[in-house]
Amino acid sequence: MLPFLLNRFRYSFLILLGVVTVVFFLFNVLPGDPARLTMGQRSDLQSLENVRRELHLDKPMMTRYFLFLNDLSPISWLKNDKLDNQKYHFWKISPAIKQHFLAIKKPYLGRSYRTKRDVSETLLEALPGTVILAISAMFLATILGLLLGILAALKKDSWIDTTSIVASVAGISMPSFFAGLIIAYVFGYLLHSVTGLSMTGSLWNYDPITGPSIAWQNLLLPALALGVRPLAIITQLTRSAMLDVLGQDYIRTAYAKGLSKFEVIFKHALPNALNPVVTAVSGWLAELLAGSFFVEYIFGWKGVGKLTVDALDKFDFPIVMGAVLLTAFLFILINLLTDILYSKLDPRVRLHS
């Protein structure tokens, strides 16, 4: 088990390092002066020079790259003159050696050009909205996908089965942002008087008199739009797996013992058909966390996605870089935890890794 874990951690670290490297060099070759974006167009030359030194823009590209890695790393080599710099919150783990010391600190992603706030704090404020949206979309897709897949398998070759297959193919082929536009227009605009749902809205409503209140109804449409593709895939996987299981001998034996159809399906057939569904759910959860950008923007849902699109529109590159790195980290972390879970459930995974 230990070699398997070390191998997975090594691959995850190399992937994350590759993402960090691509993000750094990609955003450092874009046009525009970060110092002027930070200070504004009317700043004086002395202030611009000070900001350039603070952002290490006066240093060679590779030096800036290693300083960027040092800022991101939880274990960093710091100078004593950083003690008064509030961007670092650290614990010393070595004595000072030639004005340097080794420390454990939180990753530093820089400051927003527009708000001057710490990027980490800004992203952590927006992250719960994205997590709630992704989990809700996955929950909705899983429940509906299982029910539709079971129904299609039980009604094989009927109009219900044909309709579910056609709808699944359409759902898989439809990008989330396109589904979001259609769902917002139909249910939030055309049928607003019937559904009572709005085209845009976030989890919290703010009233100047009563204060903040949770608006769960605003979660339904973006969760449905984000869950369309995993819903279609889970439906097809459940149908295929159920058809295989329903033809097994132990299912016929269960019917011969006098068990009801409900007991045979949900106590015997479904548990044995869930393996491919579990695989799809774990993989899609990570993708939904990373793929909610345009859905959040379409529905005005306050999360990392909407924050990133707004920042990109205003050339606030530290926010965009931080959001990309945070999304990549979550994606890698979820896949790593999924691999560990598989290794616990099926020892053959460790043997073939």
Q: Does residue 168 sit within a domain?
A: yes
pLDDT digits (tens, 9 = 90+) for 226-251: 888 888 888 888 888 888 888 777 78
Q: Does residue 40 sit within a domain?
A: no
Distance between CA 223 and CA 303 in Å, rounded?
A: 13
- Core vs surface per residue 274-300: b (16+ CB within 10 A) or e: eebbeebbbebbbbbbbbbbbbbbbbe
Q: Does residue 300 sit within a domain?
A: yes
Distance between CA 269 and CA 254 in Å, rounded?
A: 10
Q: Which of 275, 284, 274 is nearest to 334 (CA)?
A: 284
pLDDT digits (tens, 9 = 90+) for 282-331: 677 777 777 678 888 888 888 888 888 888 887 788 888 888 888 888 88
Distance between CA 199 and CA 222 in Å, rounded?
A: 9
Contact between 141 and 227 under an 8 Å Cβ cutoff? The reply is yes
Q: Does residue 52 sit within a domain?
A: no
Q: Does residue 303 sit within a domain?
A: yes
Domain containing 321 equals 119-351
- Decide if pLDDT at 188 tops 70: yes
The SS3 of residue 101 is strand
CATH number for position 162: 1.10.3720.10
Q: Does residue 22 sit within a domain?
A: no
- Decide if pLDDT at 39 tops 80: no
Q: Does residue 90 sit within a domain?
A: no
Distance between CA 131 and CA 327 in Å, rounded?
A: 11
pTM score, two decimals?
0.77
Distance between CA 302 and CA 109 in Å, rounded?
A: 20
Q: Does residue 54 sit within a domain?
A: no
What's the CA dihedral at 201, 190, 170, 158 to 10 degrees?
A: 120
Distance between CA 240 and CA 245 in Å, rounded?
A: 9
How many structural domains comprise the chain?
1
